[in-house]
Homo-oligomer: A and B are copies of this chain.
Amino acid sequence: MQLHPSETHSLPHLVVVGGGFGGIELIKALRKAPYRITLIDRNNYHTFQPLLYQVASGGLGADAIGYPFRLIFRNQSNFRFLHASVERIEPENRLIHTSEGLLPYDELVLATGSTTNYFGNAAIEQNAMPLKSIPQALNLRSDLLEEMEQASRSNDEDRRRSHLCFVVVGGGPTGVETAGALAEFRSNVLPHDYPELNKLEMRVVLVEASARLLNGMSAKASERALAYLQKMGVEVMLNTAVKAYSKPELLFSNGEGLSTHTLIWAAGVKGELIKGLPEESTKSSRFQVDAFHRVLGLQHVFAIGDAAGMYSEDAPKGHPMVAPVAVQQGRNLALNLFAALKGKPAQPFRYRDKGSMATVGRNKAVVDLPGFSFGGLFAWLVWMFLHLMLLVGFRNRVVVFVDWMWSYFTYERALRLIVRPYNPSEGEGR
């Protein structure tokens, strides 16, 4: 089946695969461009990934960090949405094979983002919990709460301790933020809401393979984050990797082990690739692109964001896989497409690093600005303000603000429903 064949094809067809930060920035910037634009995504919504850990830890609802594409672009007349997943690309015929049929393109932008990297360990992939999508975050939330319930009805101390041991792998922002949120749950929720449980039986362990946390940030920020986490009672294990996990037994590279039912995997990501491209188009699990976002070895195919590896002498590993790079690349590609239409030369991409930040807990965050690093309450306020501003959709900003204020004053996490998928053969969602 060929999709949309009945439309008139007067304008060239630009197809964007993936509606993350890069994809939506690009499409917004092309609002007045003479293209028919189709966004393909397997989800019908944009995910604000930086706050996924708050959904998992019961601070925010899924609807607060996801926003429907059709609503984002409701007033953009050159926009169409196709809810489908891409199976492969046939660049020689400018065709995309999707789960819903074939889609021809004139220009193609791959903004597929990244996926969890288990570094080839299949046993860990099956048992660890990733945190890259809304269904994963909701699943993790239900699992965490179910561990608490299981612990609360167990009379066996060893089993109870195993249910109450939460291990986070990966000391990047997601790992640090998740460990911090779990430590706050232990301090603020457990003593009130689980009278059967002893707070001292709950452990939060953060494991990082390298010598410090927040590797992408300054040494100062790493030290601060470590100090915050330790003060909050998180056991931080540096220079340690996970070797094997046979639920509930977890084995570390240093020979130590522990018993846990919850292994949260925030140890790495890799570009989300698509089949059907020549060999030189991909490298190190990313689409290999030149400074103009063109995928090597192909015509009319671009890549931006996490999935794009713009390898150069300055950046031999490509740019960091973070939202600001994706946003800036989306904007630059849009400018270059406009330039091409006017016969003007394209501008090579240059990344402007405006700084980075991570939050650890209540009143505790770290911010790196070029040449300047700070932490504490002010960093935390900056973090909150910027994330509110970056959220897509006014409704979501208000709801997130309300939930943050509520949590701040009550020390509560109210979004603690254990919701499992509805299955008709099981009755009322049991």
Contact = CB atoms under 8 A, between A and B. Distances in A.
Contacts of A421: 135, 139, 420-421
Q: Categorize the interface residue count of chain A.
A: 35 or more
B417 A62 contact: yes
A5 B155 contact: yes
Contacts of A155: 5-6
B82 A417 contact: no
Nearest to A423: B135
Interface string A98-133: 001100000000000001100000000110001011
A415 B139 contact: no
A304 interface: no
A430 B145 CA distance: 24
A372 interface: no
Contacts of A393: 414
A85 B430 CA distance: 8
A64 B77 CA distance: 33
A395 B414 contact: yes
Nearest to A66: B417
Contacts of A68: 193, 414, 416-417
Interface stretch (A23-31, A38-46, A255-263, A353-361): A38-46
B193 A70 contact: yes
A157 B406 CA distance: 49
A77 B193 CA distance: 10
Nearest to A2: B155
A132 B417 contact: no
Contacts of A71: 193, 412, 414, 416
A311 to B, nearest CB: 25
A3 interface: yes
Contacts of A139: 421-422
Interface string A391-413: 00111101100110010001010
A67 interface: yes
A63 B45 CA distance: 18
A249 interface: no
A138 B419 contact: yes
B429 A136 contact: yes
A403 B414 contact: no
B428 A136 contact: yes
A403 B412 contact: no
A385 interface: no
Contact of A149 (B5, B44, B67, B410): B44
A199 interface: no
Contact of A418 (B43, B100, B146): B43
Nearest to A410: B395
B134 A417 contact: yes
A74 interface: yes
A74 to B, nearest CB: 5
Contact of A130 (B130, B196, B394, B428): B428
A83 interface: yes
Contact of A134 (B192, B419, B427): B419
A194 interface: yes
Interface string A351-388: 00000000000000000000000000000000000000
Given A71-B412, A136-B422, 6 more contacts: A3-B153, A43-B418, A81-B152, A100-B153, A138-B422, A399-B399
7 contacts: A85-B430, A115-B427, A136-B428, A139-B421, A399-B399, A399-B402, A402-B402
